[in-house]
Each structure stands twice: as C-alpha cells, then as structure tokens.
Structure 1
Amino acid sequence: MPELILGPAGEPGTELTIEAGDGSGTVRRSVLPGGIRVLTEAMPAQRSASIGAWVAVGSRDEHDGHHGSTHFLEHLLFKGTPRRTAMDIASAFDAVGGEANAATGKEHTCYYARVLDADLPMATDVILDMVTSALLDADELESERGVILEELAMNEDDPTDVAHERFAEAVFGQHALGRPIGGTAETIQAVPRDAVLAHYRRTYVPSELVITAAGGVDHDALCAQVLDAVTTGGWELPGGALPAARRHPGELKGIPGSGSALTVSRPTEQANVLLGGLGLVANDERRFTMTVLNAVLGGSMSSRLFQEVREKRGLAYSVYSFSSGYTDAGLFGLYAGCAPSKVGDVVAILDDQLRLLADEPVDAEELARGIGQVCGGLVLGLEDSGSRMSRLGRAEITLGELTTVEDNLDRIRAVTAEDVRALAADLVAQPRHLVVVGPFDDDVAARLLPA
C-alpha cells in the first residue's frame, strides 16, 4: 500500500484518501477554506470518537519575553470564551461521560477530547470555541499564573523530571529545543498578559489549525461542523488561503559541540542518572531502526539494560533507554534510578551496553525479539481512537506522510542487525552528556562522564 504524502495539498477543497488495508477503515484529508486541514480515520463498529485540534506551535516558537506563553495558553483556553464559562466547558464533557484535556510540546499544542460518537458535534464546537475565542481574561490569567507556578514547583520536587529537563538543556544547549516546555518560575512570573495575547493572535490562525479525529466519525459531517464552529468563533477564512508550510529544519545554532556533566544536588534517597546525547530527527528513515534499538537495549524486561542493571546486579528498579525526535534535532538517552553509592557502577554499565551494541551486531534471536516487541506494541497501541487521532496529527504536522499500519510493520521487519549496530555506533560518536540528580556534595557527574 503506497504512503499518503501530506503536504499543503493546494487550494481549499483538495482531498486525499487512503484505504487503510488493515481492516481499520479509511483515512481522509481535506483542506477547508482558510487553509484549515481536517484528517479523519473511520473505525467501523466504534461507538466512541476522539478529536484533536492542533496548532504546529510549541515552546520552541516563543519569542524572547514570551517564554512559557505556549503552555500558559494551554491552561487559559479552558478558562472561558464569550459563549462559555470555565464551568460550562468542564461540565459539557462531564455531562456525557467524556474526557477533555490538552498537551503542549516543543513543536505543537493539541486540545483533545474523547466522547461517544453521538457527542462528537458537541466536542467539536466546545474545543473550537476555546481555540478561536479564548477570553484570556486578566484576572483569570493572574489566577492561572499561580496554578502554573505550582505545577512547575511540583515538577522541581520530582527528581526524575528534574533529570530529564536538565538533560534536554544539556544536549540542546542554547537552541530553542533546550528550553523547558512550561517555562521557568522566572519566565512565568515575568510574562505579561500582552505577550500571551500576542502569542495567541500570532499563532492561533486558520492556516495553522489541524483537526484530526478517529473512531465513529463521518468525515463530511465533521468538516461542516468545523467550518460552522470557526465561523461562529469569528475567524475570517480567506478564499484560496493555503495551510501553513510544514516546519523545515533550520541551522542548529547553540547546540554544544562537546559533551558535558551536570550534578544537581537534591536530598533524595535515590540518584537519577541520565547518559546520552543527540539522536535522530523526527522523519529520519532510521527512526524504525531506532525503535528496534530501543527495544533491544532498554525497552523491556528482556532488554540488555534491564537484564544487566536490574536482574543480574540488582542496581536499579527503573532502567530504560529512550529517544525523541524533532524537526531538526533529536535526543537519545539511557536512564536509571539507583542508590547514590552505586552511580559509578550504573554509569559504567550504561556506557558499556551502548558500546557493545555499537561494536557487534545483535544475534538473530535478539533481533527477532526486538522486532516482535515493536510490532506488537505498535498494533496494540492503535487499538483505541485516541492513539489513531494522535497518529494523524503527528503525520500531518511532523512527518509529512501517513502510512498504513502494515507499511510500518514492513519497515520495522526490514531492520537488520547491521542497521542496529551502525545506528548505535553513530549514537556513541555523539558528544556525551551525563546528568546526575541526588544527594551529592561533589560534582560526581564530572568524575564519571565517559570519554
């Protein structure tokens, strides 16, 4: 089954269709007036539906003086519109047993809901009322400023969150991807309402809006509901307007050219260790190899890290590898939580296991197990409408292509042992960054950073 290439797709009225070929239904993509994009995946026999309203704007897109605005908006859009109070928004979903929430990332923001299929028109209207007509009331903003500061304080009290945040800052350096998604206490305290309002007006526009839905959904009906909702919200939809161009890789300014070591002192019972560096960009063809590499190295109870660190030596309860990709850079890391006295042993094992993977191809049994884990996880992860809805958003905003589940399975099954070894070698060759969070008086990370 050929892939569906997702681009601006020309004038409003353009439509593309792909037959899933795996029994899950048909994916349709339409460009509406104003450049709004709507993608749906019909899932026969589903009585529920998930919908997401995406804007391809994240924390990396904030101007100086606006840092934290994207996450601030995520909160404020739930605080009311001219048609609805915050209580009206919350009770609309509670009254039908639905769920509504939002998520801010480094490159996008999504407002989403899961409801019964009969309640999808309501969910569409409420979410798009929020997106198009948020009041951003000054008093509500000040109240929510306190809520966000408490959220940031909560994260700072979680040593695992601290470790991951500092790790991203270390790897990406002064690049915008290194900034925390939620901002900092200082930036949230300092950002004025005018900056948040300017960020909202600049980025929440028809050409940036992507609507994705999956489950019991009728594509044509949803397109009509979207147009009605955004028109009611007061958006102008200029004829012939195209969707905003997909984000293109930029110059990687500010990313360190050498490794680093950081020790963060916290009065904890356990040390949190992160070792790694740059990974793959989001649409790198080797992303399928990366999923297999992670499965083999640190993605399951049979993985090398789990066996070496936890099962054989009892050094940690939680240990894993991870990766994340963005338009022009990616992150790869190894994590473990261990006793402070065992940090040296754990760092050495993390480093050794990655180097071993880079030195010798995995054997056939281990490769097959890793591929099987990834394939099974992919299929099981798409059993619900929310996962399908999110897949459409990622395809449209980040990847620029939508492939069937079978296409993805074929790509994963095509990964070879040499592919995994070569990617591991590339990861080892990147500048190394080590972050250790725990009850340390000295700079333990500087002593333990692998060469």
Structure 2
Amino acid sequence: MYSTLATPALGSQLHLPTIQKLSNGLTLIVEQTPVEAINLSIWLGIGSSVESESINGIAHFLEHMIFKGTPQIPCGEFERALEARGAVTNAATSQDYTHYYVTAAPQDFAVLAPLQIELLINSSLETEAFERERPVILEEIRRSEDNARRRNFYRFMELAFDQLPYRRQVLGPASVIADLSVEQMRLFHRSWYQPDHMTAVAVGNLPAEQLMSIVADSFEQALSRRDQVYPLASLAETPASRRPEPSFSQIRRLHYADKTLRQARLVMSWRVPGMNDLAQTYALDVIASILGQGRTSRLVRDLREEQQLVDGVVASNMSYRQQGLFSISAQLPAEHLQSVEASIISHISRLQNTPIALAELQRVQTQVANRYIFGSETPSDRAGLYGYYQALAGDISHALSYPASIRAITLEDLQQAAQRYLSPEAYAIMTVVPE
C-alpha cells in the first residue's frame, strides 16, 4: 500500500517524524508526542496562485464548500460529531496552499479523522449549497474591502508584483465570484484535490503505526467512493510554471489617501528568493530580526525609541513559493514619511557596508531560532510546520533543520544578502496618508 521514506537524520530540537509515501500519491507524516491531543492537518500545495483570472477566488470558495457534506456525511453532521467530543476544526486558503485541520482527543481520532478525509475527497458540491454559500463569499469580499489593513495590503501586492499571481486577492474579485458555476468548482476540486497534491500530518499521543494506519485506511476508503460523487470526463490543465520576477530596477512609488486612517502608513519592499530557493531565505530572516523585530532591533530602537518618528515599525521576510518579499512597514505621522524612508535606507546601507558585531548576530540568531522552537511545542504547531514545508518545499528537512540553519549564518552571509537583495536605490514603496 505504501513505501517508506528514510526519516531525515538531522540534528534538531524537533523530534524526527515518520514519513511515508503511499502508492496513491499521498505523503503521510506522523509523530507520537506525549500531549493528550492529536492534530490531523491536511495540506494541499495549491491555493489562489494556480487559478486563472476567470476563476480567481475559487480555491477559497471551495474551502467553504468542503464542509457542506458528502453523500456519506449529511451537511452539519461533521460539526455535530466534533462538538459532541469537544474537538475543533478550521481551514485556511492562501496563495500557495489550502490547509484543513481537526484537533481531537486521542480516543476520538479514529472516529473523526475519517470524517475529515471523506469531506475533502468526496465533497458533494451540490448546486443548492453552492448558491447558498455564494452570498457569504461576496459578503466576505465586501468586508475585506472595508478593512483598511487588508485594502492596503492588496494595493501593495499589486505594486510589488507585475505578473506573478501573488498580486491577486485570495478571495477573488466580486465580479468573478458572482459568475462562477458549480461545474467549474467540481472541475477544480477533482483536478487538485488529489492525493498527489496532499500532505496529511498526524501528531499526538497515539503510536506512529496506529496514526499511520488510521489515516492511510481512511484515504483508501474515501478514494474508493470518489467516482460515485460526480464523475468527470476531463480535468483542468496544470498552469504553466512562472519564473520569479527580477529585482526592482528603480524606486517604484504608490501614494494615496485613505479617509479611514488616523495616521500614515509606509511600506517598503524588495523582491527576494522564496520557498523554491530556501537556502537564500535564512540570512534574510536574520536581517529582518536585526532591523525590525523586537524592542532591541535597530529600527525600533532608532525610529521609535530614540527619534520618536514612528509609533510602530516592523520588518518581515515573507517567503511565497515562487518568490519572497522583504518588507519594512511603519505607522507614523504623515510629516515624518520622508525622513523615515531616508532613515530606513540608511540602515540598509549600513548593513551592506559595515558588518554587524558578532555579539549582535549571536543574540539575534538565538531569538530567531528560539521563536521557531517555542512555536513548535503543541501537536498543531508541529503538524503545521511539517505540512507547510512538505506542501510548499517538498521536503520537511527544512522544518527540522531551521534552527541549525539560522545558527549557521555568518557575518559575511548577512552582508552579502543585504548587498545582493536590498538595494538602497531600487525598491517598492507605498505611502498612505489620512484624507
């Protein structure tokens, strides 16, 4: 039924899970932990980035529809089964993945896991339920457009990317959602909700062999019933692979007013490597922490504590599958926009030209590695890490070795990353002021 992959022999403060590749294409990861709970996380390495413009938003819409029942499970029965046992479930759709999970007591896992898997594989996607859910999705889109933070994020992503699908909204535009058909959703579901696009992760207090058996058997049984739901003659085409976009060649600016704001916003960003080039992201993670994560970081100490130019400033390194964005954002009085931009560029230049002190590097490395380790303690934390890296990078060794990779970064690595990716003369910047 399945073949076994060697468990990565890597030094880490995370335990080593068991990984198996089933004959149906599913990647299955299990780990026994002493916590009296089990998290089943099912990750699909697909999200809004695989959509064409004409169906933008269908992946998120489908996430809602998955919970509307199957021929075997009437709508609402899954939720009633969870509530009766004190279990919880949720789901999320992003540009690069869709994630479903259920957390339950160990004694309930063998009952609830098959229900979650049946919903994913054999969702009924009935026309009546589809039409009832459409207004819910449209209302969610309207609420997101009324949210200043989301609205600003969408505008910035359109500024940061020219062609990659990350410039589009995960929810999709209302005009597209209004025209989607249930047949399009069935085609999308049957094309992408296949075992070879899925990673199932079970972490909790049952023996690994038992976790493996429950999940593997549940998938086999669900797949055996798949053609009884809505047989399809054809599947959707796989979109062509897209190359990362080149670094900015000049400063790209967007400035506008927003009447809902009381203070100005500034966001600066550089195109950097993403999950497809993970080795290049570690130094950028450390740089983000040096510049703008925590009260002792350089930008927080300089711009907020000493000069008092901003109310808040943070740096982040977002790694999407095809490309990443290194961003610095600030909340500040509008009259300080120009001086804050200049100060940020000064800090970037300093990183490029002056190696940081070894003590500062070691302190930040400890912070970054420990934040990761501390966020890996619960079954849901661990299942999330394993599933995320397997779904997006195809290899959980990155999840296991991340702290060691961060600690291996050298002073030269940081300076070279800053010089290569963070140009003081070429970046995207969005400034938003109160109207």
- TM over 0.5, shorter chain: yes
Aligned pair in 2 of structure 1 residues 256, 92: CA closer, same or farther (>3 Å)? farther
SS at match of 2:338: helix
Aligned pair in 2 of structure 1 residues 86, 312: CA closer, same or farther (>3 Å)? farther
Deviations 1:279-302 (A, max 9, x none): 222133132212211111111111
Q: What is aligned with 1:35?
A: 25
Please state if 1:345 is matched with 2:334. Answer: no
User: What is the CA–CA distance in structure 1 between the aligned matches of 2:320 and 2:330, rounded to whole Å?
Assistant: 24
User: Shift in Å at residue 322 of structure 1?
Assistant: 0.8
Aligned pair in 2 of structure 1 residues 100, 362: CA closer, same or farther (>3 Å)? same
SS at match of 1:113: strand
User: Which amino acid is the alignment partner of residue 175 of structure 1?
Assistant: L
Q: What is aligned with 2:102?
A: 113
SS at match of 1:39: strand
User: What is the CA–CA distance in structure 1 between the aligned matches of 2:158 and 2:327, rounded to whole Å?
Assistant: 13
- Tell me which of 231, 234, 257 is aligned to 1:265: 257
User: Which amino acid is the alignment partner of residue 438 of structure 1?
Assistant: V
User: What is the CA–CA distance in structure 2 between the aligned matches of 1:164 and 1:252, rounded to whole Å?
Assistant: 20
Cα pair 1:12 1:33 within 8 Å, conserved: yes
Cα pair 1:65 1:195 within 8 Å, conserved: no
Q: What is aligned with 2:80?
A: 91
Deviations 1:376-434 (A, max 9, x none): 11211111111110111123222233338774333222212221122112222384111
Cα pair 2:43 2:99 within 8 Å, conserved: yes
Aligned pair in 2 of structure 1 residues 163, 351: CA closer, same or farther (>3 Å)? farther
More helix per residue:
2
Aligned pair in 2 of structure 1 residues 21, 260: CA closer, same or farther (>3 Å)? closer
Aligned pair in 2 of structure 1 residues 422, 387: CA closer, same or farther (>3 Å)? same
Please state if 1:277 is matched with 2:270. Answer: yes
User: Shift in Å at residue 321 of structure 1?
Assistant: 0.6
Scaled by the length of structure 2, what TM-score is found? 0.88
Q: Where in structure 1 are there 5+ consecutive unaligned residues?
A: 1-10, 238-246, 441-451
CA RMSD of aligned residues (A): 2.7
Scaled by the length of structure 1, what TM-score is found? 0.86
SS at match of 1:436: strand
- Tell me which of 183, 187, 192 is aligned to 2:181: 192
User: What is the CA–CA distance in structure 2 between the aligned matches of 1:263 and 1:370, rounded to whole Å?
Assistant: 34
Q: What is aligned with 1:78?
A: 67
User: Shift in Å at residue 37 of structure 1?
Assistant: 1.4
Deviations 1:121-155 (A, max 9, x none): 23311211110111222232223222222222222
Please state if 1:377 is matched with 2:371. Answer: yes
Please state if 1:291 is matched with 2:285. Answer: yes
Identity of aligned residues (%): 24
User: Shift in Å at residue 257 of structure 1?
Assistant: 5.6
Please state if 1:144 is matched with 2:133. Answer: yes
Q: What is aligned with 2:114?
A: 125
- Tell me which of 402, 408, 418 is aligned to 1:414: 408
Of stretches 247-256 and 145-154 in structure 1, the one that deviates more from structure 2 is 247-256
How many positions carry a matched residue from both structures? 422
Cα pair 1:175 1:255 within 8 Å, conserved: no
SS at match of 2:409: coil
Which residues of 2 match residues 378-397 of structure 1 at below 5 A?
378-397=372-391
Deviations 1:305-324 (A, max 9, x none): 11122111333333101112
Which residues of 2 match residues 130-279 of structure 1 at below 5 A?
130-235=119-224, 250-252=242-244, 258-267=250-259, 268-279=261-272
Q: What is aligned with 2:294?
A: 300
Of stretches 78-87 and 256-265 in structure 1, the one that deviates more from structure 2 is 256-265
